[in-house]
Structure 1
Amino acid sequence: MNKLPSLKNLYYLVQLHREQNFNRAAKACHVSQSTLSSGIQNLEEQLGGQLIERDHKSFMFTALGEDVVGRSRHLLAEVQEMTELARSAGEPMAGTIRLGCIPTIAPFLLNRVVKETQAQFPEMSLLLREDTTESLISALGSGELDLLLLALPVDTSGFHSMSVGIDPFKLVAHKDQTLDSEDLEYEEFPDQSIFLLQREHCITGHAISACDLKNSAKINPFAATSLHTLVQMVDSKLGTTFLPQMAIDAGILNGTELNEYQPKGTAPYREIGLVWRQTSSRLRTFRTLGQMIQGLLPPKER
């Protein structure tokens, strides 16, 4: 049998593709730049093809290189899962889970998830990463993460998902703003008086849909980067916003002069769910974690 490429060199290639810079990729791999470069050259020799076109200032991946990167990501993910399975010796609730979570959930739920995991499954360790939905989905597909905690619905083509509960929305306004909690009509709000997060935060789309915000003229074009920024803006009497209940329960309104109101219509909410690769061998593990998280969230009405 011909000598097979080393996983280490495949990992170097994947990191270089991710970083698009030899120095940053070497740091990510905790090796010198020369070691990383030599590893990729050895990989090219073993495969008998050019993976990277280089000159003295820049480089680019060849078509073969792009193909090898994609296959390497899946291969490395499978090896990682095999390693974790062996470490847990067949025990599904042991080992390490690399969990990704979006910024509008992570600060308000992850601490409870970690504590509950430590209490129920002391042999399990959670490694956490906070990022946008798009970045987390990409990391899951490439094998960098094992499991995601997201707000649904999202495009989970090629992945499995499991609903773990809901997170209701509340309308938040300054106490000096007179609102009729029994008859909240958004059409009566001043134009550009409702503040939301930037579009890349999925909570914006969920809030617009769940709270039935049909008139875009009511939404201010200035978009905040975090829920805490939204709270500061509304506390400065600039307008109103919608916040998820888990953030309110975690104390995001503490120290402010803000009141919360139930939005009009059927109680609006976003659905919270877990997402993992269809090829993962840890289905039992992920479903057990999902059942645990269900105990931390309001259930979805059926």
Structure 2
Amino acid sequence: MSAMLSVERLTRRYGPGCDRCLASTGPAHGTNSCPHCGTVVACADVSFDVEDGEVLGIVGESGSGKSTVAACLAFDQPPTSGQAFLEGFDGDMLSADAAARRRLRNTRIGIVYQTPQQGLALDVTTGGNVGERLLAADWRHVGRIRARASDLLERTEIPIARIDEEPRAFSGGMRQRVQLAKALASRPSLLILDEPTTGLDVSVQARILDLIQGIQREAGVAMVVISHDLGVIRLLTERTLVMKLGRVVEEGLTDQVLEDPQDAYTQLLVNSAL
């Protein structure tokens, strides 16, 4: 297998920054806020690879930096430093110009957000939401766009009869499934799932997770799954990174990390989930 995505020393700070930020923050200091300048170090020196077809998990409590990593990879936030290389793209995608980043986002990278409002236009029809991504990926034939949207909605268990309804009328679980259909529309190489089941009822969560598993098996798309829920991480992922206060404190095969955690923080997470 070759690396679909390679991330090197990804760092994102919020604030003016100083030369003591990294040395004064993180798990060893019990804070991600620099005591010298007040800068919040959301993530620092995060490195990992995602192989072609692999599902990587990033887990941690709120404020651990996991969603910041996702935001940087989806071009929603600019990194302070670091690089990321996507198979088939020449050079560091994080330093690419705006047009190249937009092209990658529209064609190669899909994302499902925790909050559907981030990923969907709730006052646009369900088919229109999926079609919007296809138009951005240079699809121009209206018939093909509608056929592709219909196929994706069927695969994500949205009744075709509701293709012309707006997602604002849908339940939370249905909105997440529309997000998934939209994210998959352009057949991306990488799918980022940022807390895709948070806030949903347990039965709805199970349905979404089953759907994600089925799509991954069928399409073989590489995924990065962000979650605070160890059950989600255990079910979906092959390898896992554990983050605390912006740093990776443990990584390895998911089963090994969750069955025999080495870091005290990972042990706390696992014991809290029992």
Structure with higher Rg: it is: 1
Category of TM-score, reference length = shorter chain: under 0.3
Q: Which has the higher contact order (CA 8 A, sep 6+)?
A: 2
TM-score normalised by L of structure 2: 0.28
